[in-house]
Amino acid sequence: MPISSRLSTPLPEETIPTWLFGAPSSALPETPLIIDAADMQRHLSMSTYRRQAQRFAQGFINAGFKTGDAVLFVTRNNLACPVIYMGTWMAGGRCTGTYPSVPVEYITHLVEDTDCKCLLADEESYKKCVEALGRVPGSLAEKVFLIDDEDMFEPNSGEVDGHRRPGWNLLLGPETQGQTFDWRQHCYDPDQIACLNYTSGSTGPPKGVIMTHRTILASCAAHLAFQRSDPDEVNWVKRTIWLTWMPIVFSLTLLQAVINGPHRGIKNYVMPGIDVGLAVKYIKKYRPTQFVFSPAMAREFLNHPEVPNADLSSVTRLDVGGQAMPQALKEQLLDAFKNANLLASYGMTE
């Protein structure tokens, strides 16, 4: 029996790029928003985020990419992640991301199951992805492209350190061509598939969950409606700083780092991935106000020897999702983050 919520909010009837950026060539702010935590000089503003995604989409189209084609990428967090997602969507494609610690069997399954046309990997994952691709005869993906987000700032020849590995910059269209790319010719239907997100495979073969532009934006709208229910919401946005340490390929992190954060103009420092010692260092340096956990990662964080003496006072909000959270863990988190409120947003992936 359906249960109606007492709360409701209007849902966007657009695709993700149009909802986020508006028109392909309208003026957008140049304020740094998505920032490399290791080097603040490397960043994306709303303007450069759109332009780099347009370059990626145009390069895909030039390489024969068609509406509905799939992209699979395996990487730690970097500034290329949001560009890969957004560029794939602009080209009318669907995207699946995962992280380097998964076994080669998992990647092999994703290559087969997504029927990916393009496979990208960072340095850590490259050999593993080449092996996975070799296990899938007849795959639509003919090669593995090496992800290096430096290519967005300092383009190279497309070959890396003499090994003749094709760089992903071979898929980045020229800057001038990207600026004129109109994604609305390829990405026009809110019901187009945007992502296939996969379960971990801990209870059997990984299972893909279809996410359309409409369903992703519905989740974004729900998060925004919750934020806007705060009477101090305007000031909250002004003082909010995020530190992204969970993999961007996780559904909750994807919504925040790739879509909602830029939409709200929230400054977001991106670190490579789950490293508690590094996170403690960046919390001290950047004073983020919001932090995201899964329960498993919360336990890892709380058990780290540097945490008891860390200054976590800047964090005023914790978002915890991905698994059910025991009451005892909630109390431990609130004891560590003494100034924080906690939002548990758990929903089964399947």
pLDDT at 350: 34
CA nearest neighbour of 129 among 119, 137, 115? 119
Least confident among 23-27, 93-97, 202-206, 245-249: 202-206
Instruction: Compute the distance between CA of residue 110 and CA of residue 71 in angstroms, rounded to an integer.
Output: 10
Percent of the chain with pLDDT over 90: 70
Beta bridge partners of residue 350, listed in sequence order: none
Helices 126-134/104-114 angle, 10° precision: 60
- Any long-range contacts for 260-265 (C-beta under 8 Å, 24+ apart)? 260/220, 260/223, 260/224, 261/33, 261/34, 262/20, 262/33, 262/34, 262/46, 262/49, 262/82, 263/19, 263/20, 263/220, 263/224, 264/224, 264/227, 264/237, 264/240, 265/29, 265/31, 265/33, 265/46, 265/237
pTM value surpassing 0.75: yes
Q: Which is more confidently placed, 268 or 179? A: 268
Mean pLDDT computed over 139-165: 76
Instruction: Compute the distance between CA of residue 197 and CA of residue 183 in angstroms, rounded to an integer.
Output: 23
Instruction: Compute the distance between CA of residue 101 and CA of residue 104 in angstroms, rounded to an integer.
Output: 9
Cβ atoms 55, 86 nearer than 8 A: no
pLDDT at 346: 66
Binning pLDDT at 50, 70 and 90, where does residue 1 land? low
Q: Which is more confidently placed, 71 or 174? A: 71
253 is written with which tokens?
Answer: 């992190």
pLDDT at 247: 93
- DSSP for 189-252, written as a single string: -TTSEEEEEE---TTSS--EEEEEHHHHHHHHHHHHHHHHTSTTHHHHHHH-EEEE-S-TTSHH
Q: What is the set of domains in the chain, with CATH numbers? A: 46-213 (3.40.50.980), 232-344 (3.40.50.980)
Instruction: Compute the distance between CA of residue 131 and CA of residue 255 in angstroms, rounded to an integer.
Output: 31
- Structural element, H or E, at residue 104: helix 104-114
What is the identity of the amino acid at 294? S
pLDDT in tens, 51-102: 999 999 999 999 999 999 999 999 999 999 999 999 999 999 999 999 999 9
Q: Round the average pLDDT of the chain to a whole number and report it.
A: 91
Least confident among 16-30, 201-215, 272-286: 201-215
Q: How many CB atoms lie within 10 A of CB 201?
A: 15
Cβ atoms 310, 286 nearer than 8 A: no
